Structure 1
Amino acid sequence: MDDFVRDKLRQWRLSAWIYRFKDQEIDTESFFGLEDEDIKDLIPKVGPRVRFKRRLKSLRQQHKQNQETEFVPSEEMETLSYLNEFSASTSGTAKRKLEPEFESSAEKPAAKQHCGAVPFSEARILSDVKKIMVHIHSKLFQQDNNKLNNFLKNEITKLSIDKREMVGVFGKTGAGKSSLINAVIGQANLLPIGDLNACTSVMIKVEANMEDKYEAEIEFITKEEWQDEVWSMCQYLCDHMDQENDDEDGCQDDSDDNEDDDYENKLSALYGKDRKQTKPDEFMDPKNFREIPEFLQSKTKTLTFHSAEMLSEGIAKYTKNDPNQGEGKKLKRLYWPLVKCVTVKVPNIPLLQHVTLVDLPGNGDRNKSRDQMWKEIVGKCSTVWIVAFITRSASEIESWQILKSTASLMGNGGECQNIHFICTKSDVFEDFQQHTAEDRLNLILDRNMKTKEAVKEEFKKLHNVKKHFSEDNFEVFTVSSKEFLVGELKEHSEIPKLQKVLQDLNDCHSETLNYVSGAYGILSLIQGTSLRGTVGKTEDVYDELEKNKNSQLELIKKSLDETYSDFEKCLNEGVEKSKSCCENTLRTVLHPRRSGRSFWRTLQCVVQNGGIYKPRKKQEINLNMKLTSPLANSIDEEFRKTFPTKGKNGPFNGVINKFSLDTEKLKSKYSGVDLLLNFLKTEEEKIQSELNKVIRDRKKTVYNSLTKTIEESMKPCYKKAAGFSKADTLKNIRETIETHVKKSKDTMFDKAKDVMLTELKSLEDDILESVKSTMEECLELSFRTDDHSIPDVSTELGIVEKLYDELKRNTKDAVN
């Protein structure tokens, strides 16, 4: 954020939102390019948002009329002064004098890097280039509007786009997730620990805060969702009481008791122990939500604290289902049943600069919006940590069940590249302190080695998981959060290795390189276009580039068409297998062993929730996924080869990353067009980067289309089956589902196949169109734009070229 943006927000009486603009790095150039969706994210409250949009519109109109930018004069003068000094220093006529933060890394000794800190030289380069591009943006607004000018302004605005990497943290209650997160980020008292009753339904995100304060953002489910949930819970409890004496054989599912306890806990948390005396129409009374008016207003609640301890205590009522807070403190009301997600923002955590840690419940949630958010986040995790107590890590059923149930969401249906199985409390032994320090160390090292081997052997048995992840994607760590923070054996805890994992995720964020490369390309286009009139044979260069472009597009199309054919073959086999085994698959779900008459309640929950039921402390029942599994199994191997989780290979990413107009060869053949060819080279790199992101996101849509289509096909029978109650419910539900599948199987699986192929073809077409249209526009602007009403940027280009070369050298040295 720069002074211009801060001053405008203050002038418009919107100071409360400054921290959001700063957190999202909104500067002057991006301020003028804000879209409606961006503004909605920055200012969630309707009133202030309306005022902001009206004033921004007025400012834009004034901006256009004056044909000049709305920069603060002092900032513009500072940038011009900086450019003059830099230019003079590089020509040898004067020594460059910069503020300390812009001082070249060559002019002072390199400081020792803190874990997670951005290298000093990289930060300086990014800052320098951003200053220059603000200045160029100002120049362009003073020129006549034309196609090239508009393109350049738009490209500068798009330079600052960034994405956070997500690390999902799974593990059963008591495994040490909170202690692990606290230790890794160096905040011992941030998340509450030692509470075996912590609620597992609330997602907690941990991010770095740009402001020097601790914050928590509480996102609620909607009041309509809670109203429906309360009605369903009350209806279930009433039905359960009515049917308690109907089970003549005495055989009852354990899940019934779990369900009752779960619903009772939810209602009692919010409405107190006397909730049974609360009438149905009183549950939504505003008096129950006096402390959280944001819930009724469908707004996010933001809390600010001065310390990690205060934050931990302040969010307890939104995250924990245990009212006891220690030292005699007891919470009267708990709001976790209403919470969708809690985002904790912590100052001075370089490791989380581009990374978000997400403490995730094991298998989603019954609430649809919470479950949808859970699935989206799991699908966005580039790394997943599964946490288990070391003494039970290899045999911990819940940990392995989490991995088995989420593998398809994270792998082919997501973007996860690494699974880290983290064994906690590696220093916990019986009579541990009675041993000598040397014996304690030997005990730890011996058990750690044996544990790692046992866990890796267990992973090898997970055949369905290995359809999505190879053994190269799986790594085991042994840690002791306590020893790392205060113990004498801290050097033997592998928490530093996990910190390096986060550091590597930060480093893989090529924000600086992408920004500087993009800036270099833009300046090359401006200067190259202005000099084009002095260069001959530009049409010859254009013709060769056009020929190269068409040749490369043909290669892309050929590779993508071959992929489509391979997919079609696998899916055809999967359809036939699905048709032949779907009735047997149904039988395992509808007629499980040891199911008593009370099983109707479980099955009723399945149909009421669209084929999915998540019993507490038991394996999820997902009828849609069961029906889809033969079809998914038929495509999993081919899908993983096509969209690998690691690297830049595969029919999609591989052919995109090889795309080239062969600009380096043309530089040696034609003189005077180096700058325009430099621009085209940076545009190649940009479209490759953008398409890799598109492929990463869209492949999830392609893969998940199978289950989604089956869900849609099964909806009518679920709706019908959910209407049965009391007498003969179990029989009616079973018959309804079995009859529907028998009638639909000849079309349902074919439709799922067709939808996946349609999604794949759509992705192929979009990739080809994106490459074709982008390169055609760039060629047109580079070689056939008649209007040269653009500024001279020779000084700025020279500076950015030097900074770009320095950055590439630093990046290469870091890799080597």
Structure 2
Amino acid sequence: MTLNIFTVSARAYFDKTLCLERSDTEIPKLQEVLKNLNNSVTKDLARDYVSEAKGILSLIKSVQLESDTVGAQTEVQKNFEQNLCKALEKLGWQFDMLHCVLDKCLSDGVEESERLCLTSASSIISPNLSHGKGGFHKILKALCKNDGYHWSNAWNRDLDLNVELAQHMYKIIDEEFYSIFPIHCKTGKSVQEQIDKFSIIQNDTEPPRASIRYHIDNFIKREEIKLKMSLKREVIERKKEISLSIETTIKDAMVPHYKKAAKFQGTGSMKKMQNTLTEAIENLKHDMFKQAKEEVLRKFRDLEQYINDALESGLQRSILLLTETGKIELDVLEDIKELEKLLQQLSD
């Protein structure tokens, strides 16, 4: 794939006083690239829709040609329903295994966080400032007012007490978490790999192309692919929610104490803020980190349930649709030929 790079200037493109040719801004070249990209994406989507429509019509035609349509469909429906139950059961075992892995590393994370949280938090609450404490009162005040976060211009860095408190749990679970939710690579136990392996087609060998079973299997394969693609997007979004839930749970537990500390004013107020935050962490640490662990596991179970429900309901609809195709009396042969022509045009 060729990567096009443009030195684009939108301001120069619209500034008539610069007397530039349109091509000098390179915006026309960029517009052409974006236009071609959009056309390519649109063409791919159209090809997918046409291919799916052709598959459904081919299935209808093959069912119409089958001599024992009712008997064949009943047997196919029964087999697919049994395969769906088995596949969902197997998927449940795999998720149970992943849940146990997460549970173990989260428990270790809770233990490590309880042990080190006060030490790590002190780097923000009571930093060792070699140049004195001038200005730190305002920084700590701003951090408390903003629920534990502050961008310090004076220090040119983010100060986030919630992230600081969550860091040990993240460090402990990172390796296992990213084997369950990898970015690109295969790990052998990722959620996406469990979804990819899921199928209700259990044939040892591919049926003959002219057989009704071949068309039925192709229809089910397309339905499974659609479901898996939609689930892939959902897994990515849920991964973010699951990961952030540690920091969010800690923040929610600390918010009342941030608000309390932010109210202190006058002489000695900085010390009072520091003591309030330190005491809060000490008192909350066991329950706070345990709740963070439970929230991760709860969201993981929610993801499992969502995947299970999506696969079960989606494929049940597809299986039901198979039983309805035999009732369609339309002659779809000409429609299939037209879609084949259109598919060829879109592939050129």
User: If the TM-score is normalised by the length of the shorter chain, which range does it land in?
Assistant: 0.7 to 0.9
Distance 2:44 2:191 in 1: 21
8 Å CA contact 2:109–2:170 kept in 1: the answer is yes
Higher relative contact order (CA 8 A, sep 6+): 2
Q: Deviations over 1:204-249 (max 9, x none)?
A: xxxxxxxxxxxxxxxxxxxxxxxxxxxxxxxxxxxxxxxxxxxxxx
More strand by percentage: 1
Partner of 2:26: none
Distance 1:546 1:669 in 2: 23
Structure 1 residues 353 and 608: alpha-carbon distance in aligned structure 2, compared to 1, 3 A threshold: farther
Distance 2:202 2:83 in 1: 10
Distance 2:169 2:159 in 1: 18
Partner of 1:559: 94
Letter in 2 for 1:694: E
Q: Deviations over 1:78-124 (max 9, x none)?
A: xxxxxxxxxxxxxxxxxxxxxxxxxxxxxxxxxxxx968xxxxxxxx
Partner of 1:587: 122
Partner of 1:81: none
Give the share of equivalent positions with the same residue, in percent: 27
Structure 1 residues 511 and 769: alpha-carbon distance in aligned structure 2, compared to 1, 3 A threshold: same
Q: Deviations over 1:455-507 (max 9, x none)?
A: xxxxxxxxxxxxxxxxxxxxxxxxxxxxxxxxxxxxxxxxxxxxxxxxxxx88
Partner of 1:695: 235
Letter in 1 for 2:141: Q
Partner of 2:104: 569
Deviation at 1:803, TM superposition (A): 5.6
Deviation at 1:791, TM superposition (A): 4.4
8 Å CA contact 2:63–2:212 kept in 1: the answer is no
Distance 1:744 1:694 in 2: 33
Report the secondary structure of 2:114's partner residue. Answer: helix
Q: Deviations over 1:612-650 (max 9, x none)?
A: 111237120010000001111111100111111014654
Matched pairs, number: 329
Distance 1:681 1:557 in 2: 21
Matches of residues 435-514 of structure 1 in structure 2 within 5 Å?
A: 511=45, 514=48
- One of 33, 42, 45 as aligned partner of 1:349: 33
Matches of residues 228-307 of structure 1 in structure 2 within 5 Å?
A: none
Report the secondary structure of 1:726's partner residue. Answer: coil
Deviation at 1:792, TM superposition (A): 3.7
What TM-score results when the alignment is normalised by the length of structure 1?
0.37
1:543 corresponds to 2:100 = no
Deviation at 1:723, TM superposition (A): 1.2
Q: Deviations over 1:533-586 (max 9, x none)?
A: 753522222222223222222222121110000000000000011111111112
Partner of 2:182: 644
Deviation at 1:782, TM superposition (A): 0.4
Distance 1:706 1:651 in 2: 20
Partner of 2:171: 633
Provide the alpha-carbon RMSD of the alignment. 3.3
Deviation at 1:694, TM superposition (A): 1.2
What TM-score results when the alignment is normalised by the length of structure 2?
0.82
1:518 corresponds to 2:52 = yes
8 Å CA contact 1:698–1:763 kept in 2: the answer is yes
8 Å CA contact 2:73–2:322 kept in 1: the answer is no
8 Å CA contact 2:143–2:150 kept in 1: the answer is yes
Distance 1:796 1:543 in 2: 30
Letter in 1 for 2:8: A
Partner of 2:247: 707
Distance 1:352 1:631 in 2: 46
Distance 2:178 2:208 in 1: 40
Letter in 1 for 2:33: I
Distance 2:176 2:344 in 1: 40
Deviation at 1:781, TM superposition (A): 1.4
Unpaired runs of at least 5, structure 2: 19-29
Deviation at 1:741, TM superposition (A): 1.0
Report the secondary structure of 1:748's partner residue. Answer: helix
Partner of 2:336: 797
1:677 corresponds to 2:217 = yes
Distance 2:67 2:313 in 1: 25
Report the secondary structure of 1:731's partner residue. Answer: helix
Unpaired runs of at least 5, structure 1: 1-113, 117-183, 193-307, 315-325, 327-345, 355-505, 811-816
Partner of 1:611: 148
8 Å CA contact 2:151–2:157 kept in 1: the answer is yes
Letter in 2 for 1:550: C
Matches of residues 87-486 of structure 1 in structure 2 within 5 Å?
A: 184-190=4-10, 309-310=13-14, 347-350=31-34, 353=37
Q: Deviations over 1:170-210 (max 9, x none)?
A: xxxxxxxxxxxxxx5535323x6xxxxxxxxxxxxxxxxxx
Report the secondary structure of 1:662's partner residue. Answer: coil
More helix by percentage: 2
Distance 2:313 2:107 in 1: 34
Structure 1 residues 697 and 731: alpha-carbon distance in aligned structure 2, compared to 1, 3 A threshold: same
Deviation at 1:510, TM superposition (A): 5.8
Letter in 2 for 1:559: Q
